[in-house]
Homo-oligomer: A and B are copies of this chain.
Amino acid sequence: MATTRPRRATIRDVALEAGVSRGTVSRVLNGEPYVSAEARVAIERAIASVGYVPNTAARNLATQRSRAVGFLVHEPHALFLEDPNIGAILLGANRVLSGSDLQMVSLVIDSERDSRRVERYLSGGFVDGAVIVSARQEDSLLSAFGRLSIPATIVGRPPASVRVPWVGIDNRGAARAITEHLVGTGRRRIGMLAVALDRDSGADRLAGFRDAMGDRFDRHLVVERPLYEYTAGRSAMEELLERDPTVDGVFAASDAVAAGALDALRAAGRRVPDDVGVVGFDDSSWAQRSQPQLTTVHQPARLLGERAAESVLAQLRGEEPSLDGTILETHVVVRGSA
């Protein structure tokens, strides 16, 4: 590749240098018993002297495993960075995987082309398992894992057609609870900024809102946007005010969306919570940085990541995973915005 990259030392070079066989070197490398003290020191010295570094590709090929786990996010790259929720899940997963000395590799799928490249990447025993975040309902990635029979756990509820272990929250119930809180503060005209309806979280939050509103549900007061983004919240709130200037309550599908809504309300001269009550979802860093701070649903994002990673580890140990899914608790956090 490069002009004259020097050939790297192999296990044979080490064996030659130390005056032993490949097998013995391999044993030392893997910390196996049944190696004499002399052989061990000779080999360690030889490793240092020839500058040996094991070749992971060769090891992976021979052992048929990689000691790496993928963290797959099917979102635009920008959102991956902006959404503190995904970040917290990543943190949790990384904590658990690091603890087992597995390398976590993050892969973001942004385009159709990315999707194919990632599939190719995964197909080579590059990862032993994967944590998958924000898969679409019809995600081709999910079937790819089925084909490759790589252990995977999904964060969020997978479509019924796919049999994969998962961890998630009761988005519908939580959305219902936070909406009921909003209703309980005396609001009459309540709208929703609904987002990501192509995913279980988005669809379920809308369903929960509908549950809570009952007869008072008004389709006209639901503004939709594709992604959980600040800017989406801003523009959706503007649209909602246009549709009905008398709204006095808003359920935003995420804290980032709520933050955007807050700014749109401020720009329109509305006071929060005096004129309009606003609630969010996630209890992410957005919630505490907004002014006023957001009343929202706390979801244990970090714990979701940890549980998902643990589930992958369990599968790697050969345990049969439950396909029922694990549902973690959420609760309403009341702050200043409603």
Using a CB–CB cutoff of 8 Å, the interface residues on chain A facing chain B are: 1-3, 5-6, 8, 51, 53-61, 64-66, 68, 77-78, 81-82, 84, 87, 90-91, 94, 98, 101, 103, 105-108, 110-111, 113-114, 117-118, 120-121, 123-126, 128, 147-149, 151, 230, 285, 289, 291, 315-316, 318, 320
Contact = CB atoms under 8 A, between A and B. Distances in A.
B55 A124 contact: yes
A87 B79 CA distance: 10
Given A103-B107, A106-B105, A57 B2 contact: no
Chain copies in the assembled complex: 2
11 contacts: A1-B64, A5-B149, A6-B149, A8-B148, A55-B124, A56-B120, A57-B57, A57-B61, A57-B124, A81-B91, A103-B117
A111 to B, nearest CB: 8
A77 B320 CA distance: 31
A144 to B, nearest CB: 9
Nearest to A5: B149
Nearest to A66: B57
A61 B53 contact: no
A93 to B, nearest CB: 10
A169 to B, nearest CB: 20
A59 B124 contact: yes
B61 A61 contact: yes
Contacts of A121: 56, 68, 103
Nearest to A58: B61
A91 B105 contact: no
Contacts of A78: 87, 91
The 3 closest A-B pairs by CB, nearest first: A56-B124, A81-B87, A106-B106
Contacts of A124: 54-60
Nearest to A106: B106
A55 B65 CA distance: 12
A318 B5 CA distance: 10
Contacts of A58: 61, 124
A97 to B, nearest CB: 10
Contacts of A106: 105-108
Contacts of A120: 54, 56
Given A54-B124, A120-B56, A123-B53, A2 B318 contact: yes
Contacts of A315: 2
A251 to B, nearest CB: 22
